[in-house]
Chains A and B, each alone.
Chain A
């Protein structure tokens, strides 16, 4: 499985934008970039995913580098409820393929 590298932790102030980086230099052409987040004592929650183009949804934006070797999850206005561990995961769309979770980035949001 292609590996991702994320900072262990990040801090943000409430109401400010947050940019969570992810490096995936060994990504293959068929790997999608997924972001999930996990709040304390809960299962992972889908945030966003993309292949080549930048993606936006109601939760966040995903900016993908042109060479696809890195990506950035953007939370436009952090709230206290966004404090969680954010996982950047590569996965193809082969049926039956599981997700491989790294340690993720623990985001703290300061009031």
Chain B
């Protein structure tokens, strides 16, 4: 199956600093990647849709200037949490969508292992 990686797997930072999280699709090119956030004991909530070579589309209530998304290549999307605060502490998960020529798993999404962010 397809593999999606995230780096780092966990990060602890001080309030006010910025943190970058990488999401890579390892064996296919993904024109579309998604970023989700999951608070403890809650389900995943979509934050934004990242399209290669264009601006990300953010869900309602997600600040685009605080959560910067860059999808500069077909295998890499990054999420930067700027000026992080304790309320940004969460589990951030990305997913990458397979291309249309992937047979039965076309337009499927494969999820990364997640990045746990703790802001002190």
Closest CB of chain A to B59's CB: distance in Å?
Answer: 9
Name the B residues within 8 Å of A97 (CB-CB): 107
Q: How far is the CB of A29 from chain B (nearest CB, A)?
A: 17
Q: Answer whether A96 and B113 are a contact pair too, CB < 8 Å, given A41-B91, A101-B44.
A: no
In the complex, identify which listed stretch (A19-27, A43-51, A61-69) lies at the interface while the others stay far away.
A43-51
Q: Is the CB of B112 within 8 A of A46?
A: no
A98 cross-chain contacts in B, Cβ below 8 A: 34, 46, 49, 109
Check if B93 is an interface residue, CB within 8 A of chain A.
yes
Min Cβ gap B97→A in Å is 7
Task: Assign chain B's interface to a size class.
Answer: 20 to 34
Measured in the bound complex, the distance between the Cα atoms of B106 and A96 in whole Å is 11
Contact mask B25-67 → A, CB, 8 Å, 1/0? 0000000101010000011111001010000000000000000
CB pair B113 A43 closer than 8 Å: yes
| A102 in contact with B43 given A42-B114, A96-B51 (CB within 8 Å) | yes
Which of A41, A43, A100 has a CB less than 8 Å from the CB of B111? A43
Q: Which residues of A contact B112 (CB under 8 A)?
A: 43
Would you list 16 pairs from A and B whose C-beta atoms are within 8 A, ordered by A residue? Answer: A42-B114, A43-B4, A43-B6, A43-B111, A44-B95, A87-B43, A93-B106, A93-B107, A95-B32, A95-B100, A96-B32, A96-B97, A97-B107, A98-B34, A98-B46, A102-B43
Q: Give chain A's interface residues, CB within 8 Å of chain B.
A: 36, 41-46, 87, 93-104
